[in-house]
Structure 1
Amino acid sequence: MQFISHQHAQLSLSETVKPQLKAHEVLIKVAAIGVNRADCMQRQGKYPAPQGDSPILGLECAGTVIELGADADNSWLNKAVFTLCAGGAYSEYVAVDAAQLMVLPSGLTMAQGAAISEVYLTAFGALFQLGNLQQGHTVLIHAGASGVGGACIQMAKRTGAIVVITAGSDEKCQHGKALGADHAINYKTDDFVDYMQQHNLTANVIVDPVSGRYLNKNAAIAALDCQIVMLAFLDGRFAEVDFARLLQKRISLHASTLRNRSQTFKRQLRDAFVARFYDDIANQTFDFNIYKTLPWQDAAKAHTILERNENAGKVVLLVE
């Protein structure tokens, strides 16, 4: 099969053998691939695949099941699906744990399916499993125009929360509002602490891929018992922390990644997400927030888009 290799941080089409299926897996003929920052970091040598996972890039895809492992349910054969992958999605074929598959609704394209799994499952875990977001809560979502940010906005609004986002341009703020955000703050022109204080807003849940200097700023506008969920550290890995404020407000700080979670965790996350939001996926209540689709031969262009922070939403590669 063909796949996209990442030798010396460069992307190019290469050939390798098809994956050998384990008993619990299925083989997917890949039609579309969701592109994520983790892919860029892995290409750069900064985020190697966990032991046992495919070294090929790609954490999510949509496609058709063409082969079953010995223990996989026969009903999956020839089904159109979308799913997380334990690496390996940047290829013509990928082996995936059958218990993590989700049926692609008939009204959705493969590109839309490829834009769902990583961002919606990450957002779901942050908002509901760690953040315990409830109707009437206020949630602050940093990088609100990102793929995860867009998923957070829509699920939070579906839950009845007040949604505040930050983003790096007026255009991205408008994009977030179009997805349902109640307040959108351009962090390059406005300080989100000042904005929230002026609007009498405090956050019950904060989803933060920025970290660094944002930690103390988050604490300044946190409500009592606020849950802060850190997903990355785009502002830097170190910060001075005002522990008195964390204690005063009983703030809980969570650091979370999805890629290195166990198979059992990912199965349970998939099940909880499907139970709560699959109907919204199938009914297209949600905007799948695709910024651009590109042929998979242009994977390098896709990575450049993400690395320049150009995109508002997901970039998807189409396998031809």
Structure 2
Amino acid sequence: MRAVTVPTPGGVDALEVVDRPIPEPAAGEVLIRVTAAGVNRADLLQRQGFYDPPPGATDVLGLECSGDIVSVGEGVTDLQPGSHVCALLSGGGYAEYVSVPAGQVATVPSGISLVESAGLMETASTVWSNVFMIGKLQHGETLLVHGGSSGIGTMAIQVAKAFGATVVVTVGSEEKAQFCRELGADVVINYREQDFAEEMKSADLRADVILDIIGGKYLAANVSVLNTAGRLVVIGMQGGTKAELNLGALLTKRAAVMATSLRARPSNEKAAIVSAMVAQVWPLISDGTVRPIVHATYPLEDVRQAHQVLEDSSHIGKVLLTL
């Protein structure tokens, strides 16, 4: 089967389409013939040599995919061959076939295509686990999302609005700002022209939950705009890994800073996240309240171009690979 690997870490030219054996599903797993795969920032980090796969995971890139179940391993009874599904992966999505624990697989929501669903599992699971399960966002609270036009950002806007939150986002262009407004964002701040913390303070806005992909660079500013009992959830480090933290500010606000990742979690934890997310988010997709935002699709052979688009941050929503 065709699969994408990185023999030597580096730029987009490090990506290679190679031939690999078709995997066999182990007990508790299903084998999926991949229709499309989502491209994520974590894939770029893996390509660059900064984000190794968890122990035991394949070196083939790809953290989410959609396709048809070909076969099931011993003990799998609730998924059948021929079913249209999407899956949350530890790796392996950039390939014609992938084997994945059954608990990390869900049938495709009604109303969307199999290709569109390829970009759902990583984004929706990330949003649900971090904003709602960890951040505990409630109706009437305010959510601040950095990178509002990204795959995660566009999902977070829609789901948070569906659950009655006020949504503030940061973006890097007016085009992206307008798109986020159309999705439902209440306040959009262009970080290239405005300081998000100053803008929020001048508008007397405080965030109850912050979903942060930047990390160190934004730590102090994020804490400064937290509401009393606010929750800062850090899921990325695009702005560095280190920063000075004023614990006094946290004490005064009785606030919390949490950092999480999804990929390296045990399969049973991922299954619990997927189950909770599907129960809450899939109905919103089926009735049209939430929709997958796809920027572009590229054939697997054009994986280098797909990575370049993500690296340039020229996209809005998800970039997908098709097979």
TM-score by length of 2: 0.96
1:74 & 1:248 partners in 2: Cα distance? 49
Q: Tell me whether 154-163 or 191-200 shows the greater mean CA deviation.
A: 191-200
Q: Percent sequence identity over matched residues?
A: 38
The one-letter amino acid of 1:3's match is A
Change (3 A) 1:106 1:130: closer
SS of the residue corresponding to residue 115 of structure 2 reads helix
CA contact 1:173–1:185 (8 Å) conserved in 2 = yes
Change (3 A) 1:41 1:134: same
The one-letter amino acid of 1:308's match is D
Residue pairs, 1:226-237, within 5 angstroms: 226-237=230-241
CA contact 1:290–1:313 (8 Å) conserved in 2 = yes
**How many Å apart are 1:288 and its aligned residue?**
0.5
1:170-209 deviations in whole A, cap 9, x for unaligned? 1111121121100000011011112111211111001101
Tell me what 1:185 maps to: 189
2:172 & 2:250 partners in 1: Cα distance? 27
Partner residue of 1:304 out of 304, 308, 313 = 308
Tell me what 2:73 maps to: 69
2:273 & 2:110 partners in 1: Cα distance? 23
CA contact 2:109–2:282 (8 Å) conserved in 1 = no
Q: Tell me whether 222-231 or 95-104 shows the greater mean CA deviation.
A: 95-104
1:210 & 1:186 partners in 2: Cα distance? 15
2:94 & 2:179 partners in 1: Cα distance? 28
2:130 & 2:110 partners in 1: Cα distance? 28
1:12-55 deviations in whole A, cap 9, x for unaligned? 22111111211101110000000001111111111110001111
SS of the residue corresponding to residue 179 of structure 2 reads helix
Tell me what 1:3 maps to: 3
1:125 and 2:129 matched: yes
TM-score by length of 1: 0.97
Tell me what 2:105 maps to: 101
**How many Å apart are 1:84 and its aligned residue?**
0.5
Tell me what 1:25 maps to: 29
Tell me what 1:110 maps to: 114
1:284 & 1:77 partners in 2: Cα distance? 28
User: What is the aligned-residue RMSD (CA, Å)?
Assistant: 1.1
**How many Å apart are 1:284 and its aligned residue?**
2.9
Aligned residues: 319
The one-letter amino acid of 2:54's match is P
CA contact 2:103–2:268 (8 Å) conserved in 1 = no
Which sections of structure 1, spanning at least 5 residues, go unmatched?
A: none
**How many Å apart are 1:244 and its aligned residue?**
1.0
Change (3 A) 1:75 1:205: closer
